[in-house]
Structures are given as C-alpha cells and as structure tokens.
Amino acid sequence: MIITEQAIDCLRARVGEPQAGPMRGVRLASTDSLAGYSRGIGDLNLLYRDEGYAQSSRWRGLIGHPTFLRYVGDGEGHLAVSEGDVSDPLAGAAGAYAGIAMTFFRPVRPGERFRVRGGLANLEVREREDGRRSVHETNDTVIWTSEGRLVGVISERRIRSERRASPTLDRFASLDLSHVYEPDELAEIDAEYLQEHVQGSRPRWYEDVTVGDEAPPLIKGPWTTSTYLTFVGGAGLHASRFHYSHSEAVRIRRTNPAAFPRDELGIPVTEAAIHHDAFAARRVGLPAPVESGPERIAAMSHAVTNWMGDDAFLYRFAVSLRGFVFHGDLYRIACSVADKRLTERGCEVDLRLQATNQRHESVAAGSATVLVPSRSDGLPEVPVEHSQPVSIFDDRTT
C-alpha cells in the first residue's frame, strides 16, 4: 500500500476537526466498572477496588484507576479513524500504537457520566530508513463530566506506514521464543509477585522523597493470551473497537471489511486477533501473539500508583512504547525519582519509568508527575485548576 500525497492532504484536512464515530468507552462509571478495570490490569491497591477501604481514604469513596480515563466516553465520538475504516484516507496502511500522554485534573468517581471531544490534533510525514513513507498521527481527547467539570486530556500517538506486500518473519529470525519455564523459575516469579510493594494508605511525604530514590521493580508476565483477555474484560470491549460478535459483527464488518481479515479457515476475524491468535499474528509478520499497547501503558501506571500512595494524585503521565512483548515474555518496570519541587499546584515529584524484558530489551519508557502530601502543607489540592485550553478540542469558554 502506497501512502499518496492525496491521502495525506485528505488526512491533514481533518486536523482540528472533531471526529464523530461509533460509541467510545464507558458512558457511566460504576463501582463494578472501576473495580473491574483495576482487577483487569492486576493492580492490588484497594483504593480502586474496595468500597469499604476507599471510604476511609481522603477520597471518601472508590475512585477510578488513573488510566481508566482512557476508556470513558459519551457515545458521540472517538479519538481516531481506525485502520480499515472506509472513511480512513490511509486505509490499508500498517498501523502501530506508539504511546500516550495524559493529564489528570480530578479522579473518576462512580455515578459520573462524561462528555468527550477529540480528533486528529497533529500530523507529521517522515521517510523511513527502508525508503517507505510513514505518517505520525497525534490524536487528542478532552474529557469532562456531564456537568462540565474537566476530568483530563489524553494525547495518543500512532504511526501509519506503507505496508509490505508480503509480511515475513525475517526481522525476527534471531528471536528465540521457545523458552520453557521450569517450576523453579515460576516459583521465583511467583515469589516476586508476592513481595509486590503497594504504598497504599501510608502517606508518601514530600519531605521524605529524595531524588534518585528507586522503588522495587514491578514484574509483569509471563504474558499470555489469557492476560490479554483479562485486560479486555476489565477495560471493556471498547478496548478495541473491533471486538464484536454474531449479528453486530456482521454489521460492523460490512462497513469496515479491511478490519476483519480471514483466518486459516476463511472466517473473517478482527484485526485485534494478533493479541490472542497465533495465525493472526503470523499473517502480519509477527512470530507470536503480542501484548496490546494499552496493556503496557496500564502496567506502567500501575508502577506509579504502587509508589505514590492513596493520598497523592497523579497529575501527568506519559509512555513511549518500544518493540513488542510476545507470548511468554515478562518484563519489569523500574520507577525512580527524577526531580521534586514546590509549584503553584503544591508538592510535585517527577518519576522516571523504564520497562525491560527478560532479554534486557527496553519495551517502554515513561514519566509521571505526582502531587504528594506534605507534613507542613497537608494534602495536595484536587481538582487541579486549569483555566487555559488543554487541547485544540477544548471548547470551554473562558
């Protein structure tokens, strides 16, 4: 598939235009959806999953895990035109989810409904080393409660590139995925999980934080297709807009045929099957099913919530994805303090995040800014006030 100037011009014309589309996300936050997401990503912190525990926290009730915000919506729009959409000027181009940046102004609470406005915010065309052209898309979404309270803004990056005519496994020729875990190895992994540190109800005092501090690494994996299904169960079927079945699948497939390639039995299946089906993965040149990008992003946020404790508030969070996590891979997330300072928002701590797999390869890098409590100034103020527009899709009147 060749990316033409006409296609690029058509896509560029959409920059700044709110994109209407299928229903996106959870329209009503509930205790079940909030707790279910936390279970789906494997976060043990009771603040996000136990109402009784959360009642005794500063929040006086259950709140959503920060990255739950990615899955809320109002049914009126979505971030981007997905690969295979008939209205997509780059239909047929390969797509890769590259990363995310999130800014939070208040937590999500049970009973809240949402208003969402977003679309294509920026477009950059690049020439790859192999001569193929790629398009780097940035898609923004601004989220408010239905009462107009600003909840957060999300900026997601995706890379679209000219697809090879016949994807092959050549680039993974040196990759050995045949490792079989022995019982002793699994016992060591289990022990690491059982020692996971959750700051929880113990305050992370600003005065006690030192630049260079390191949290115990957070382990994730070995990743399996069951891990993906658990994540989708927690995030909801809107984790991929192409998870449909039976009558609904037929109707969606008729409008987006390219998003449902045929499997080895000739049956149309969702393009998201690369995360749980070996044939689907090999069809696009992958040697095995791969973890989805949003899973890894949730894992990185889990490392932050483990460190910060219940009294703190995650203000900014960003992740860049690197490479693939294949079936059987595991990785550990290192979290360290990069900086601390006093600002108009309060006591801020910057964290540096790095995820590394068992082959010592980086699979993600990230950062976070956390508002933490202070012995002298008390709890950080939430909601975080922000009067200026947070995105070109922020239509608040000032």
Span 174-232, pLDDT tens digits = 899 999 999 999 999 999 999 999 999 999 999 999 999 999 999 999 999 999 999 99
Residue 24 pLDDT > 60? no
Domain range list for the chain: 5-371
Q: For residue 166, is pLDDT > 80?
A: no
pLDDT bin (cut points 50, 70, 90) of residue 74 is confident
Q: What is the pLDDT of residue 303?
A: 98
Mean pLDDT check: name the lowest of 98-107, 272-281, 308-317: 272-281
pLDDT of residue 249: 85
Does 56 have pLDDT greater than 90? yes
pLDDT at 334: 98
pLDDT more than 90, % of the chain = 74
CATH number given to 5-371: 3.10.129.10
> Which pLDDT score is estimated for 167?
67
pLDDT of residue 90: 83
What is the identity of the amino acid at 1? M
Residue 238: per-residue pLDDT: 59
Residue 132: pLDDT band (50, 70, 90) is confident
